[in-house]
Amino acid sequence: MIIGYTTGVYDLFHIGHLNLLKNAKGMCDKLIVGVTVDELVQYKGKKAMIPFEDRIEIVRSCKFVDAAIPQYDMDKLKVCKELGANMLFVGDDWYGTDKWREYEVDFNKEGIRIVYFPYTRGVSSTKITEALKQIRGWTSEASILASNLCHDK
User: Which of these is catalytic: 46, 47, 81, 133?
Assistant: 46
User: Which of these is catalytic: 22, 25, 30, 44?
Assistant: 44
Angle formed at CA 27 by CA 24 and CA 32, multiple of 5 degrees: 50
β-bridge mates for residue 34, sequence order? 7, 69
Which of 49, 36, 40, 52 lies closest to 147 in space, CA to CA?
A: 49
127 is catalytic: no
Q: Report CA dihedral (22, 71, 66, 23) to the nearest 10 degrees.
A: 10
22 is catalytic: no
CA 85 to each of CA 3, 33, 42, 70, 108: distance values in angstroms, whole numbers, following the listed order: 5, 11, 27, 16, 12
Catalytic residues: 44, 46
